[in-house]
Structure 1
């Protein structure tokens, strides 16, 4: 199993960061490089506990679909999305939020397994982990910008 651990510091209230991070429209904006769009389930606005979204995007030259469900949620501190259908053997993305002095610390822990035995492990080592890390870094950059812009407009 591979784990990607990222921490992003955002100058915005925890509620803002929590809501922006589960906003389907903002995710689509952050994933524009892969032409990722929501095609089924919740396709716009905020996704909530037990709801699903199916994404379609271009990765490694192929259009792929990935259906995930929000399997756990504790407002405004934690939520989990887990793959129900897709190309991974397993895929679990945990989102943690902590506020300190008006700054929110957002932590991503993405755990996944590739199929195809040693070939999947080799693909992960050579390409996939870097691709997913860059995907999350771009997502978090957009989330940070949206949250900090929204927060600066709040009186």
Structure 2
């Protein structure tokens, strides 16, 4: 099992960063490089507690599908999405939004995941997935930061 954390400073209030992070359209736009699209569940707009969304995307030259559910929601401070079905043995993504002491937000993502296939999966995690997942989340966060800062002006 792998776990990592990213921290992103956003020059916009926590409520705005939180709401944009819950928006399916913003997420889809942030994942344009992997041709991610929604194929079931919430297909547009902001997700709420208990909502599911099924994503279809291309990673490593292959099509993947993952259905995730919003399992915890405490607006505007925290929410969690967890895999219901998909490529991972385990996927838990906690999102935290805290005031930065001014008018901005410190956004923290804590991702805890495991690849399937036992020992082979752990080898793939350390050799490939850990770096790939960090880069994917960083790409998403750069997009979210730009969207929040443009909207917060």
The 4+ residue runs of structure 1 with deviation greater than 3 A are none
How many Å separate the matches in 2 of 1:4 and 1:124?
12
Cα distance in structure 2, aligned partners of 1:44 and 1:132: 24
**What aligned pairs does 1:113-152 form with structure 2 within 5 A after superposition?**
113-152=114-153
Any idea what the Cα deviations from partners look like across 1:100-145, whole Å, max 9, x if unmatched?
2111000000001111111101111111111111110000000000
State the 1:16 CA deviation.
0.4
**What is the number of equivalent residue pairs in this alignment?**
152
**Which residue of structure 2 aligns with residue 4 of structure 1?**
4
CA displacement at 1:3 relative to structure 2? 0.6
Deviations 1:36-63 (A, max 9, x none): 0011000110011000000000011110
C-alpha separation in 1, matches of 2:130 and 2:54: 21
Match of 1:87, SS state, is coil
Give the match for residue 57 of structure 1.
Answer: 57
Question: C-alpha deviations, 1:53-84, integer Å up to 9, x for none?
Answer: 00000011110000000000001000000000
Provide structure 2 residue ranges, at least 5 long, that are not aligned to the other structure: none
TM-score, normalization: structure 1? 0.97
Name the counterpart of 1:112.
113
Q: Name the structure 2 match of 1:92.
A: 92
CA distance in 2, matches of 1:151, 1:87: 36
The correspondence of residues 34-53 of structure 1 with structure 2, limited to 5 A, is: 34-53=34-53
Q: CA RMSD in A?
A: 0.6
Aligned counterpart, 1:19: 19
Residue 76 of structure 2 aligns to a residue whose secondary structure is coil
